Structure formats: structure tokens, C-alpha cells
Structure 1
């Protein structure tokens, strides 16, 4: 038998030693404030949950002291695990330190409990040792419950239960004999009783957290049966625990069970001795009562509401609680939960809250929470109370503060925002009353503290609420509230949004002055935002304000590099308005920007069409519109490289469209717009035609070349007209003539190329234009004094087969001859001038031109030939003048077509004098011829033959002298 016992003891020793070795290893590690390795922690956790609680006392009898010492050390050394926040080596794999600390302390408790159970020195009947272990067990249990380690808490509480005796009536002596030992036992008994009470509380807490409400009820009954649980401290602990249980049950919807625990909490508080009531007890009573009432009022049963009133009356009857804001807030909640809302009672309750509230952060939050809740059931009462809070509490407090109190101002701002929120809610008073109330409130705030402006955050909140309310018939009044002076701290972004909202509203109601005011009151930086300027452009269109429209369009265009959306919108708005010229300006702005992705060809065409439509509008300044048209056409030509990227058919279509429209406009407007504009338009047309894909349209070549020639003709005409409009030495005028020569050259080249392809009236028409161009060329030579080109130009005129319009050519030639200096004159030039004049006289006489002009040209040609000793030609001119004069005297000619007498007299006299000169040089044959010609011409002078008689007498005398000389 002895051998068997020894063998069992030897078998048990390894388990005990393993526990000690594990504990000693953990103690060594924790003593250095290190973390338990994972493997060691797993071993400790295994001992706690499995092995150690089941070791028999006999197995550890020899090791009880070691168990006690290592248990104490582990308890103390594990403290740092529960509060360790310092960094650790990441290479070492460790477990959660707080969890390991809890497990280690439970391990230490089990070691101490095991040692206490078997120690021969630690008698289990020793109250001091029992209390010691009991306290450790309760601390471990509380730690586990605080860390939600319910399984470990159960193990710890199980150790506590080992020390709880089963009480019976026989255990209590009838008469206690007073001695020192008995007194010590009574003292220890009282201490142990307090620990037992705490044990039952922890048991109740564990049952609640484990969702074992049946066990919680059991331990509540245990607590209720103990007479020593009525002490103030224990009562507070019990009531606080029951309050937490009830509140958690209420949150999870277990209302009926929560009511039971609330009742238990209140009953527990009611057991407190009035003399031992502390501030903590009163606070707990208030919290419990308020939470209980909230639960009761959520129940629609009358009995629950009745019980809520009873709880409230108890709170109000409690000394020191009647004037608490929370109590009055509770009263409001009961009133608000009634089927029939009594707004008068609610208002009284709210005003009492406003009056009682001590201006602290927590009380202000409570008051604001109640007032916000009141707005849902009695909005008018809530508005009145909020206004009272602002007027009687916050404003005086802030005004009397010598320095700006940011806290009070923050409360004022929150109250004001709450007022606005309540006023704009659908359940509040009508909108017009709400707007008036808000305005009056803001005005009063500003009047009492003029320097006060809401912070940016409060301003944003208030303006957001007002913005949301700005709908319906009172939108304008709501929007004007957004610009109240108390909101001056609004950022530029918000001010811009408000301004734009006001502009839209005013424009929708055709209040253009209000819209302009809203725009110009905005900060300059926000005025120049694209969206703001778009609205300003729209306003300008509606109010017919060209200046504002153009300024706004320029700003929008300047900012359209990244996003041309608003520029496109301006085009659309302008096209819908009566100010279509602004649409043109907007399109031109887009053309100038050429934003990415825009269809350039469509954009240019659209702009051009719109501008050409403007040309047809009555009262338009054609010059101004034409300039805009020309700019678009020139812009289109500058984009020719981009247009070339189109398909061949599209490219040909574009060239045709632009060239034909430029040509048609040039022909149509050449007489109505300034010459410079005509030239620019025609040159643009020519530029497009120069880029026409001729290789694919050879059949159109003649038509295109004909148009180019006509463009050159019209451009020359316009440039010559421009030159004639300036002074003779003006540089701009001379540049016009130089420019005209380029087009003259082009015309002559094209005319030479196309003249063989023209027939009939078309050929005559083009020859007439060619003759006009030749005259323009002579005019350019004259004004530019390019005498070296004169002979070629004169010869070209003589080569023309045109029979008309030689009168202007004759005038030009006469002027040219007057301007020629002696160095520029030559026999060839004189001959060409004479021939031109002669031909002009011939054609004009046949065409029955003004005989006065013909007489002048004859005189000039006669003088020119006579000066250059071309007697034969001069004599022919003399006879031609006589023939013309004779024909003019025929009966079938009107009197106004008679040859001018002065011209006849001058020609006759000059011719007769020339004959005298010939006699002097003894050229009697020529002299006789010239005298006869002069007499023939004098015969047609309307002086009743006086000049003819004079010449006859002088001829007789001349003949006599000649005879005498020969004799």
C-alpha cells in the first residue's frame, strides 16, 4: 500500500513541477519587463483553463510556498502588460499584451489559491488569509470583466465562490461573548461581508454580460437578501450596475425587461439613508430617472406615461434637482409625447429651460437639443424659446464681455442657425412670417453688437439653410437675407453663389436693376468668373446693354481656354435675343480661341452666315458689319491648312463656299462700303480661288479665272477710288495706287489669257473693263510719276478696240502731259499722246460727245503737234476742227452743240500766225496752205465774218509783200 502511494506521488510530481517551471520562466521574463513569447503564453493559458484548476491539493503540498511566492511575483510583474504602450522589436512574435496580462494575473490567482488551499501555515480558518485571497480573486474577476474576458472571469469568480460559506440560522450564535478574539472576528466578518456583496455584484455583472438574465435575477435576489447591502457606497454600486443593465436592455429593444431593471435601480436608490445621500447618489438618481422616463414615453400606453409623470415628480421633489435643466428637459419630453400637444405648457417648459440654463458647454448642448426636438412638435414655441435664449441670455452675455468671447459667440451662432432651421421647416409658421422673424433677429443681433460678424463656418451653415428655403413666392426675400451684414465673413465663393442666385431670380422676374445691383455688389474677383460673366451677358442681352454685354463676353472669352462651355452658352443666348450682333461677337470670340474639339469649319460658316444676315438688317452700319464679315473670311483663310486636312470633297466644298460668298459679297457691297473693305474681301476671295483644287475641276478653270479677273478689276476700281479720295502727296493714297498696280497686273495677265475664250456680249463687257483698267493704270503712273511705264501704257490704250469712254482717257493724257517734265518727254511719248488724243477726238465726235470737250482736246493736240513741229498733223487737226464746226452749224444740229467760238477763234488765229511764221522763213507753199485753213476755220466763227474779213485783208497784205519781195 505504501509503495502504491509513493508511485502515485511520483507520477504527480512532474505536473506540479511543470507548472512551477512555467511560472518561474514567466516570472523571469516579466521581471525584465519583457513580453511573453507565444509558446510560453499558450502554455500558461492551457494551465489556466485546463490543468491548474484540477490539480489535487496533495500533489502540491510540498510546493505550496513556491506556488505562493511565484504567484505574488507574477501578479506584480504582470502589471506592465496591462498598461504597456511602448514599442517592441517587430521581429519577435508576441501575443496581445493586455490579453496576456489578464491571463497571467488569473494564472497568479490560481497559484495563490492553490497554495492557500494546501498550506499548513495558511489555515483556511484564518480570516486574514481568506480575505487576502478573496480580494485578489475579486480584483482578477473585475479585471476580466473590464476586459470582456468572460471565460477567465468565470474562472476567477469560481475561485471566489470557494470562500463563500453556505449560511444558515444555526451558524449564527445566539449570544456572542465579548473578548478581544471575538472583536477581531467581528471586524473580519464585516470586511468579508463587504467582499461577499461585491462578489454577488460581479456575479450579476458577469451574468448580464453573458446574456444570462435569469442568473442576473438570481444574484439580484441574493443581493436583496443581504442586510449589509444598504450602505451608501454599496447602494450606489448596485444602482449604477442596474442602471447600466437597464440602459443596455433599452438600447437592444427589450423594453419590458429594461423597465424591471430601472425599477430595481430606483428601488435600490430609495433604500439609501437620507443622511448618507451624496452628490453621486443624486447624480445617479437623475441619470436613472431621465433614462427611465425616456423609455417610458417611448411606450404609447397610458400606464407608462403615468409612471413617467410619477418619476418626474419624484425627481422634482428631490432636493437640488428641481432646478436642473435635465429635469425640465424630461418634463418637455413627457409633454411632447402626449396625444394632445399643449403648446402653452411646452412653451413654459422651454422658457424655464432657457432661464435655468447655466451657460456652460454641457448645459447649452442640453438646452439646444431640447429646443431642436421641440421644433418638431411645437415649432412656434421652439422659435419663441430660441429667440428668448438669444435676446435675454446670449446677447447680454456677449455684449457685457469686455473682450470677444469666442465660446459665447459660438453659442450665439449655433442658436441663430437653429432658429433659421426651425423657421424654414415645413411645420413652422408661413414663409413670409418666417422671413420677417429671421430678418428681425439678425437685425437685432447686428444693432446690439455692430462689430459682430458670424464666423465663416456659422455663416456657411446659416446661408445654406436660407438657400434651401429660397423657393416659392418669397424667394427674393429669402435671398436678400443671404446678404445680411452679419454674414460679411462669407467667403468669395459663397458671395459669388449668392450674387448669381440673386441675379437669376431678378432676371426671371425681369427686375433688371436688381440683377445689375446684385452683380455689381459682388467682389471683383467673383465678378470675373466665367459663370458670373455669363449671367451678366445674359442680363445685358435682356436689358439691351451693349457695353455690359461686350465686357462680359470679353471676360468669358479670356477664360475659355480650358472650358469654353460658357462661351458656347453666350452664343446660344445671343442668337435667341434681339441683339444678334452679340451672337456674332461671341462666335468670333470662339473663332479666336479655337477651343479643342470644336468643329472649326462649322463654326466659321455659322459665324459668316450670321454676319451676312446682319447685312440685310435695316439701319445697319454696313461698314462695321462688313469689317466683321471680312475678319471671319480672313480668319477662315488663315485656317486653310486645317481645312486641307478634311477629305477631298469636303475641302473642295469649303473652298467653293468661301470663295463664292466672298465674291458675291464683294460684287454686292463694292458700292456701299469703304474701298479698303472691298479690297480685303476681294483679296480673300482670290486667295481661296488660288487654293482651289484645279486638278480635279478642270472644267471650272475658266469660270474661276474669270472670277479672279473680276475680283482684280473691282479691287483696282476700289483702290483707285481710295487714291482719289486723298491728297496728292498723302502716303496712304500713294500706297493705294501701288496696291492697285498689283491688281492691274493680275487683270491684264488674266485678260490676255482669257480673251480668246470670250465671245459676244461677254467679250465686249470684258474689253470695256480692260479699257477701264488701262485708264486706271495711266492714273497710277500719273500719281506715282512712274514715267518710264508711260509709253507701254499708252500703247496698250491705242491697241484697244473699244470705241467708247475715250473722253476720260483724253483727260488723263492731257493731265499727264502737263505733269511731264522736259526730261521725261520724248518724240515717242509725244507721238503716243498725240495719237491717243486724235483717237479720242475721232471716237468722241462719232459718238456725238460733248463738243466743248472735243474742241478742248483738239486745241491741246494742235498745240502739242505745233510745238513739236509736226505741221502736217497740226494742219489735219485744223481742218478737222473746221469740218466739225461746219457740221455743227447744219440745220439738224441743236444750238447747244455748236463749236465754241473761243476755240474757233484761237485755232484760226494760231493757224494764221503759224502761216505768217512760214512766210518769214520763205516757205510760201506751206504758208498759203495754213492761211487757207485758218480762213476756212474763221468762216465758222459767229462774229458776222469779222475774223474772216480780218484774215482776208491780212492775207492780201502778206501776198503783196511777198510779191514785192520777189519783184
Structure 2
């Protein structure tokens, strides 16, 4: 036994020396751009930390603390200066590289080792310092998807939280307020870690995976309850991180059709941002808030509770006040209008008209506009005239055609979007030729064709011309069957309009006859 004690002592001393030697070498290695073995060396050496309290560790406490501080500061510089993959400097806190994540974790564990005695023996000031570093390291690892290291940071922070909780009671000093904030932040980050844990072994069945996810949600609920129990306000950065995480949990619940849970977590995400001073949060938080509102509206619509529609409309009104020109706000408003028992086609058109004027035109947004114009065409509504106060049942095809005209004249011809112009023209012809309540079809189509010819000299391609003439010819045949020769001739004349000049020779001869 006498021989084993010196051997154990020597082993502990050698272990401390090895840690100090490796840590001392890191500063020079960090100056080299992306040294290929550095990350793996960090991962290997971090396994030996934190060092167990011993006389050997106590003797080197100051050196361990100095090295931990130097490496922490180095990780801060690297995070600020590290270029993104495209060669630009990134300011996105969520893109910290694995190297920075592991380096921060390593630096913290050096500082933790420098304490060299159990947390219960540490003073509150020491615990506050280490708790701050632990939480910063955990958040960086969390955002960098280094979840195992984030978990290790929080395991160490758990002992500090206990010390701070015991010392915090009835303490209104500045240090007491800091301790309370750190405890709140600790449980908030633990909530985030639980919510971010998406891994599941490949042999899980669907049922066991769902149970696994439910266990995580239950733990997240417990951690959130601890946050509320402590009270206080989070820092802006932590609040944004937590709001983002709560949003992800809510969005997943929405995907799983668990609408009550979706509403609960999305409201928490909204409240998390709402408690912050708007001047202190980042520009990205505004977009996050918009996404949260969008998810909340959809969750309330799906939930179908007695007050769900009212709550959804209240949210949309808030969104209109803050994000008036955002395409998603108009889309949500149209969804709400469509879900009503009686749809107001005039209001539907008003929203659609605003979308047409403000949307950034691309293939997806164009298809979305056309989709909603088709939906508008199929609506019927009651129009109460202001002058006669009489009730008239009208077809909403008129509004659909107005929307198509607005899209064509105010957006498409100005930017010369040929294929989209053809799509709008064909859709307009189809509505007018298939609906008896679409108004004066012949006159309106003549006006549209004249506009295209005069404003842009545009003519349809051969395939689009064939499609247009096929639809128009049905009106010729219908008029002929009813022996309305003048009407049939007028439709034939429209088929020969210069906009349709790419018609085949046979078609032109057939129409002329």
C-alpha cells in the first residue's frame, strides 16, 4: 500500500503536467490557419477534463486558470474573425465552427479544474464567474450542434446553480441579482438543450421514437417551469436563442398535428421576445417573430377551439401593423378569409390586389398568385350596394378577372415576363369563356388584347396561341349553334387579333371561312 500511494501521486502529477503541456501548445497552434489535427487533438484531450481535485492540481491552480483564460479569449477572437466558407466574415452566432465550440469547452474545463475543490466549497463570486463561462460555452456548443459538449458544460454548471440557489435567498444585492439571472439562464439553456436533442438510435420503432420525443418535451416542460419559478428577465441574446428553440419545438408539434402543444410553445416563444427591449434584440429577431406569428396563426386555425378564429385574426392584425408588406401576412389573411363560413369575395380580392402590388415576383410567388386567383373565381358572395341597399348575388369571376388584369398590366408587361403573361392571358380567356357571369367577355378580352399589342407589342407563342384559340373557338361554336351570326363573327375576329398572329395557316383559314 505504501508503494501504491506514491505511484498514484506521481500519476496525478504527470496527468496535470500533460494537461498543462497540451494547453500551453494550443496558443501557437491556433495561430496556424485550420491545422488539420487540432480539432481531433482537442477532442481527445478534453476527455481528461475536468481534473479531479488533488494537491497536484491545487499546486498548479494559477497556471491552469491562466491557460484557461488565455484559451477562452483566443476562442472569442477566433469566433469573431473566422471566415465563412464563402470567404466572408460571418457574424452569425449559430455558425460557430466545431473547432471554436470544442476550444471553448476545453477552456472552460481548464478554469473549472483550476477551482480544485468541490463547488460547495467555492465562494459565490467564484461560482458566478464559472457559471457565466459555463453558460456561454454551453450556448456556443448548442448553436454549433456539439450537444455532448453542451451537456457536459451544463453538468458542471449544475453544481454552481446549487450554490447560487442557497446563497440567493433574501439577497437584494447586485451580486444576488446576478446570481438569480444566471440561475434563470441556466434552466433556460437546459430547456434549449432538451429541445435540441433530436437524435434517436436507428433501431427505434416509430412508437418508441414518439415516446422518446414525448419524454424530451416533458423534460422541457419541467425546465421551463423552473424558469418561471425563478422569475426575472433573460439577457437579449439568451432570450433570442430560447425563442428560436421554442419556435422549433412548436413548429414540430404543428407538423405532428399536436396543435395544443404547438400553440403553447409558440406563445412561449412569442412571450420570450416580447419581454425584451426591442432596441436590444438583433435584426434577425424580427424575422423570427414573424415566423412565430405565422406558426401561431396556423396552429390556432388547426386547433379549432371556440376562440381560435378570433385569436388568429388578432395575430394577423398585429402582423399587419408590424409587417404590412410581407407576403406571408397577406397569405395568412387569405387563409383566414377562406376558412370563414361565408367568404367575402370583395375583401378576398382586396388582399389579393395588395399581394399583386407588393410581392417580389418569382416562379413560386407567381404560382401562388395564380392559385389564389383560381380560388377567388370559385367564390360567391353577397354584395350589399351602398346606394340601393339591395342584396345582389354575384359571381366572383369578375373579381378574379380584375386580379388577372392588375397582375398583367401593373407587373408583368412592365417587366416583360413572357411565359407568365401567356399564363395570365390563357387563364383570363378560360374564365371568360367558361363562366356566363364573368361580364362582357368579348369586350373585355378585346380590351386585354389591344392593351398587349399597344403597350408592349406582345404576341403569344404558337403553343399559347393554339390554347387560346381552342378556348375562343368554343364561343364561336356556341354562338353558331344559337344562330347568333354576328356574335360568332365577332369571336372569329378576336381569334385573328395580332396578339394571336402565330396561329397556324390552317387555323387562320378555318377562322376566316
Q: TM-score, normalised by structure 1?
A: 0.39
Residues 25 and 390 (structure 1), Cα distance of their counterparts in 2 relative to 1, 3 Å cut: same
Report the Cα distance in structure 2 between the residues aligned to 1:391 and 1:20, rounded to whole angstroms: 75
1:29 is the counterpart of 2:29: yes
Query: In the alignment, which residue of structure 2 is the partner of 1:138?
Result: 135
User: Cα offset for 1:210?
Assistant: 0.4
1:245 is the counterpart of 2:249: yes
Residues 230 and 442 (structure 1), Cα distance of their counterparts in 2 relative to 1, 3 Å cut: farther
Query: In the alignment, which residue of structure 2 is the partner of 1:630?
Result: none
Report the Cα distance in structure 1 between the residues aligned to 2:25 and 2:275, rounded to whole angstroms: 51
What are the residue-to-residue correspondences of 1:206-605 with 2, within 5 Å?
A: 206-211=193-198, 212-229=216-233, 238-251=242-255, 254-266=258-270, 286-297=290-301, 299=302, 302-303=304-305, 306-316=307-317, 320=321, 326-338=328-340, 340=341, 342=343, 345-355=344-354, 360-362=358-360, 371-379=369-377, 384=398, 388=402, 409-410=414-415, 416=421, 419-420=424-425, 422-423=427-428, 429-430=434-435, 437-444=444-451, 447=454, 450=455, 452-453=456-457, 467-468=466-467, 471=470, 474=473, 484=498, 499=502, 501-506=503-508, 509=510
User: Cα offset for 1:228?
Assistant: 0.6
Q: Residues 379 and 422 of structure 1 are in contact (CA less than 8 Å); yes or no, is this contact kept in structure 2?
A: no
Unaligned runs of 5+ in 2: 87-95, 199-215, 380-395, 477-490
Report the Cα distance in structure 2 between the residues aligned to 1:479 and 1:147, rounded to whole angstroms: 67
Residues 385 and 191 (structure 1), Cα distance of their counterparts in 2 relative to 1, 3 Å cut: farther
Report the Cα distance in structure 2 between the residues aligned to 1:172 and 1:113, rounded to whole angstroms: 25
Report the Cα distance in structure 2 between the residues aligned to 1:27 and 1:271, rounded to whole angstroms: 40
Residues 73 and 155 (structure 1), Cα distance of their counterparts in 2 relative to 1, 3 Å cut: same
Report the Cα distance in structure 1 between the residues aligned to 2:404 and 2:232, rounded to whole angstroms: 52
Query: In the alignment, which residue of structure 2 is the partner of 1:162?
Result: 159
Deviation per CA, 1:561-594, whole angstroms, max 9, x where unpaired? xxxxxxxxxxxxxxxxxxxxxxxxxxxxxxxxxx
Q: Secondary structure at the match of 2:97?
A: helix
Q: Secondary structure at the match of 1:163?
A: helix
Q: Residues 108 and 137 of structure 2 are in contact (CA less than 8 Å); yes or no, is this contact kept in structure 1?
A: yes
Q: Secondary structure at the match of 1:303?
A: coil
User: Cα offset for 1:201?
Assistant: 2.6
Deviation per CA, 1:88-128, whole angstroms, max 9, x where unpaired? xxxxxxxxx933332222112211221134599xx93252x
Q: How many residues align?
A: 450
Query: In the alignment, which residue of structure 2 is the partner of 1:874?
Result: none
Q: Secondary structure at the match of 1:164?
A: helix
Query: In the alignment, which residue of structure 2 is the partner of 1:196?
Result: 183
Q: Residues 134 and 160 of structure 1 are in contact (CA less than 8 Å); yes or no, is this contact kept in structure 2?
A: yes
- Mean Cα displacement is larger for which, 148-157 or 133-142? 133-142
User: Cα offset for 1:318?
Assistant: 8.1
Q: Residues 394 and 412 of structure 1 are in contact (CA less than 8 Å); yes or no, is this contact kept in structure 2?
A: no
Q: Residues 334 and 348 of structure 2 are in contact (CA less than 8 Å); yes or no, is this contact kept in structure 1?
A: yes
Unaligned runs of 5+ in 1: 88-96, 177-184, 399-406, 488-497, 515-967
Q: Residues 141 and 154 of structure 1 are in contact (CA less than 8 Å); yes or no, is this contact kept in structure 2?
A: yes
Q: Residues 351 and 388 of structure 1 are in contact (CA less than 8 Å); yes or no, is this contact kept in structure 2?
A: no
Query: In the alignment, which residue of structure 2 is the partner of 1:939?
Result: none
Q: Secondary structure at the match of 2:66?
A: helix
Residues 417 and 216 (structure 1), Cα distance of their counterparts in 2 relative to 1, 3 Å cut: farther
User: Cα offset for 1:136?
Assistant: 2.6
Q: Residues 246 and 258 of structure 1 are in contact (CA less than 8 Å); yes or no, is this contact kept in structure 2?
A: yes
Q: C-alpha root-mean-square deviation of aligned residues, in Å?
A: 5.0
Deviation per CA, 1:635-661, whole angstroms, max 9, x where unpaired? xxxxxxxxxxxxxxxxxxxxxxxxxxx
Report the Cα distance in structure 2 between the residues aligned to 1:139 and 1:419, rounded to whole angstroms: 54
Q: Residues 429 and 472 of structure 2 are in contact (CA less than 8 Å); yes or no, is this contact kept in structure 1?
A: no
User: Cα offset for 1:170?
Assistant: 9.0
Higher relative contact order (CA 8 A, sep 6+): 2
Q: Secondary structure at the match of 1:229?
A: coil
Report the Cα distance in structure 2 between the residues aligned to 1:358 and 1:482, rounded to whole angstroms: 30
Q: Residues 358 and 364 of structure 1 are in contact (CA less than 8 Å); yes or no, is this contact kept in structure 2?
A: no
Residues 71 and 323 (structure 1), Cα distance of their counterparts in 2 relative to 1, 3 Å cut: closer
Deviation per CA, 1:724-782, whole angstroms, max 9, x where unpaired? xxxxxxxxxxxxxxxxxxxxxxxxxxxxxxxxxxxxxxxxxxxxxxxxxxxxxxxxxxx
Q: Secondary structure at the match of 1:47?
A: helix
